[in-house]
Amino acid sequence: GDMLFCPPGTGKLMRIQGAYISEKEIAKITGFLKEQRTPEYDENVTKGDDEAETREFDEADYDEKYDEAVAVVTQSGQASISYVQRRLRIGYNRAARLIEIMEHEGIIGPQIGTKPREILVKNYDEDGF
């Protein structure tokens, strides 16, 4: 049915369409699927991405907008890819990379579900902390 949705950081409502599925209906569908055959689990899904955890950054990874991005994030208290994208007028991939480097450098905390990232460094200028 119809619903109103407010994308994070925009403060602007959008009219969207969505489907409602009750818990009872979900249980019926999953029960039916379980009866058809035994599940085949892909162990790679539960292992996670070890490469992302141990990724090291070198000089080639740093962006000339990095210091500006860190200043924007620490001054505003908002650390999201979309926020950095809008404030610096850059693309999604570049903003995501800047956020990833900030997390690696300990400036912002990790993404935990839908909660906002914690800003670990409060004062930052272009010379550093």
Q: What's the N-to-C CA distance of the chain in angstroms?
A: 49
Least confident of 46-55, 92-101, 120-129: 46-55
Tell whether the model's pLDDT for residue 2 goes beyond 60: yes
Domains of the chain, by residue range, sit at 2-36
* Bigger pLDDT: 125 vs 12: 12
pTM of this prediction?
Answer: 0.53
* Beta-carbon contacts of residue 18 (< 8 Å; ≥ 6 apart): 1, 3
pLDDT band at 127 (very low <50, low <70, confident <90, very high): very low
Residue 37: CA atoms inside 13 Å, Cβ hemisphere, count?
3
Give the pLDDT score at 11. Answer: 80
- Tally of residues, the chain: 129
pLDDT band at 124 (very low <50, low <70, confident <90, very high): low
3-state SS assignment for residue 125: strand
